[in-house]
Amino acid sequence: MKFLLMHRDDPHAELGFHHSEAVSAELAKLSEEMIKAGVLLTSIGLEPSSKGTRLTFAGGVRSEQEGPFKETRALVAGCALVDVGSRADAVHWATRFAELSGSTQIDVRQVVEMPTSSNGS
């Protein structure tokens, strides 16, 4: 079962805050542990919303808003894709990440895999 673990942004991340070297080292150890366990497929962090663009679609019209975006608590700061045996396993890994990183909210969402074309188009 694949799950996307998404951790939320906070005002510090929006200002370009990065974890201390000690916390970064512990997070790297956790990532290595997850790789060795065969559960971590990928993980990414995101730049602050000030470097992003928000697209809105309404009535067939697209509008663009350049960052930063006001509601930082609703923004995703990073995510990891894991392949685990159960939702409980995904929650376990998300909890380990939160304990090390200080994240206060992580969404754990099961992935629905979409079929892809096999003819290369």
* Distance (Å) of CA 46 to CA 5, 17, 43, 119: 14, 12, 10, 33
Q: Given pLDDT bands bounded at 50, 70 and 90, which one contains residue 6?
A: very high
Amino acid 4: pLDDT: 97
**pLDDT classification of 121: cutoffs 50, 70, 90:** low
Written as six digits, the tokens of 32 are: 């290595």
Least confident of 34-38, 53-57, 64-68, 71-75: 71-75
Domains of the chain and any CATH numbers? 2-48+72-110 (3.30.70.1060)
User: Are the CB atoms for 48 and 69 separated by under 8 Å?
Assistant: no
What percent of the chain lies above the pLDDT cut of 70?
88
Residue pLDDT, tens place only, 19-47: 778 988 999 999 999 999 999 999 998 88
Instruction: Judge if pTM exceeds 0.85.
Output: no
Beta pairing, strands 2-8 & 106-110: antiparallel
First to last CA, the chain: 27
